[in-house]
């Protein structure tokens, strides 16, 4: 009889192979992609993550409500972590990353938009307008994934009610300037982006007709 591995066993295989590789950064992300794609995740069920919620719980990368409907760090080492996200109807902001990694979709289809960075017009030392334009779009299905590279700009929209993402994230994060990219194409650059700016982004996504009242 064929031995079918459960979710916990697959994560253990992924963890051990990445530890043995001694790779870092982009090379580690490429290796994670190869290993993840060699494993069969089609039998994934959300209740399988419960095995990682035993006491004492592992040191977590995100707070419980800081990312997605639910997030859990399954593995954490000095070079990488393995995380799972229940994203469901949660759309990301237009954003960049400060790390190398690999996203793999266990459940749900997503629409991913890639943007090109433009020179734009500097309005203030912290604010630039017309800083991006749409470059290309794609649909990703369960079993597919996407490498994360610092610098490129993208946004992910969920196409199905249930969307689960497996993430291999490299550590430490790269040191780079924080940027918040608004749906209008404005780019806000500062080391600490305040809660007010995040509220403005949410407001613009909900009511884009207010952009002339909010932004220069």
CATH number, residue 43: 2.60.120.10
Has residue 132 been placed in a domain? yes
User: What is the average per-residue pLDDT within 111-118?
Assistant: 91
pLDDT at 149 over 80: yes
Has residue 210 been placed in a domain? no
Domain of 22?
Answer: 7-174
Has residue 33 been placed in a domain? yes
Rounded Cα–Cα distance for residues 71 and 63 (Å): 8
Has residue 2 been placed in a domain? no
Rounded Cα–Cα distance for residues 110 and 154 (Å): 12
Has residue 103 been placed in a domain? yes
- The reported pTM is 0.81
Has residue 191 been placed in a domain? no
End-to-end CA distance of the chain, in Å? 67
Residue 68 near residue 108, CB atoms below 8 Å: no
H or E stretch including 82? Answer: strand 80-86
For residues 109 and 213, the model is more confident at 109
Structurally, the chain folds into a number of domains equal to: 1
pLDDT at 2: 44
Model confidence pLDDT, tens digit, residues 176-212: 555 666 666 666 664 445 556 556 665 666 666 666 6
Has residue 201 been placed in a domain? no
H or E stretch including 16? Answer: helix 7-21
Has residue 187 been placed in a domain? no
Based on the number of CB atoms within 10 Å of its own CB, is 36 exposed (0-12), middle (13-18) or buried (19 or more)?
buried
pLDDT at 46 over 50: yes
């Amino acid at each position: 009889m064929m031995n079918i591995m459960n979710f916990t066993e697959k994560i253990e295989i992924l963890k051990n192979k990445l530890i043995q590789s001694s790779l870092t950064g982009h090379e580690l992300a490429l290796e994670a992609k190869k290993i993840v794609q060699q494993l069969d995740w089609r039998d994934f069920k959300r209740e399988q993550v419960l095995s990682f919620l035993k006491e004492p719980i592992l040191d977590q990368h995100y707070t419980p409500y800081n990312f997605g409907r639910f997030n859990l760090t399954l593995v954490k080492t000095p070079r990488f972590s393995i995380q799972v996200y229940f994203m469901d109807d949660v759309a990301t902001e237009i954003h960049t990353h400060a790390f190398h990694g690999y996203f793999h979709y266990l459940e749900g289809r997503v629409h991913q938009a890639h943007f090109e960075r433009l020179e734009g017009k500097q309005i203030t030392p912290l604010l630039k307008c017309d800083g991006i334009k749409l470059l290309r779009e794609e649909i990703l299905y369960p079993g597919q994934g996407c490498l994360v590279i610092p610098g490129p700009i993208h946004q992910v929209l969920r196409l199905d009610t249930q969307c689960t993402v497996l993430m291999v994230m490299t550590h430490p994060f790269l040191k780079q300037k924080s940027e918040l990219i608004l749906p209008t194409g404005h780019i806000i650059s500062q080391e600490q982006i305040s809660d007010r700016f995040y509220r403005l982004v949410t407001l613009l996504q909900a009511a884009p007709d207010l952009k002339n009242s909010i932004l220069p």
